[in-house]
Amino acid sequence: MTSADYRVEAKKVLLVDDEAFNLALLQLALPISRYALSYAAQGQAALTLIHEDKPDLILLDILMPGLTGIDLCTLLKHNPLTADIPVIMVSGLDSPAEERAASAAGALGFISKPFSPERILSQIEQLTGWC
C-alpha cells in the first residue's frame, strides 16, 4: 500500500454567499487537502448545485437576493433527498432572533460575520465531528 491509499476523501462543501469577499474568506479557511469546495452566489443557484452534486456540508449566508438562506435551509430540510445535509448559517445579522430563525429552519449551527478562518474551521469540526 502507498500513502495515497490512506488518504481521506475530501468532504464536499458548498459555500453560498452573494458577497465575493465572504466566499474568499471561507475559501481561505478551508484547506484544499480536506475540502472540495463549490460556490453559489444565490439561493436558487445553490439549489441547482445541491441537486446536481449533493454536498457533505453547506455554509449558507442568510441575507441574499431572491431565495434567502433561511428559505433555502427550510426547503432542504423538508426534502427527503437533502434533509440529511448539514447546514451552518453564516450571517452578519448577529442577534438571538436570527440564530433562532436559523435553528428553526434546521441549521446545525450559526456563525456570525465577521469571522476568522480559524473560527470557521473549528466550528465545522465541532458541529460535524470531522477532524
Count CA atoms closer than 13 A to 106's CA, side-chain side: 17
Is residue 34 domain-resident? yes
Per the domain annotation, does 4 fall within a domain?
A: no
pLDDT of residue 5: 47
C-alpha cell belonging to residue 19: 458577497
- Looking at residue 8, what is its pLDDT? 66
Q: Say if 59 falls within a structural domain.
A: yes
Q: What is the pLDDT along the chain (131 residues), one digit of tens a residue?
A: 444 544 568 999 999 999 999 899 899 889 988 999 999 999 999 999 999 999 999 999 999 999 999 999 999 999 999 999 999 999 988 889 999 999 999 999 999 988 888 888 998 999 998 87
3-state DSSP call for residue 5? helix
- For residue 89, the enclosing domain spans 10-126
Whichever domain contains 94, its CATH number is: 3.40.50.2300
Instruction: Report the number of distinct structural domains present in the chain.
Output: 1
* Cα atoms in the Cβ-side hemisphere of radius 13 Å centred on 40: 27
Is there a domain that residue 1 lies in?
no
For 44, the enclosing helix (H) or strand (E) is helix 43-52
Inter-CA distances, 39 with 5, 36, 87, 105, 110, Å: 29, 10, 14, 21, 19
Does 87 fall in a domain?
Answer: yes
pTM listed for this prediction: 0.91
DSSP code for 4: G
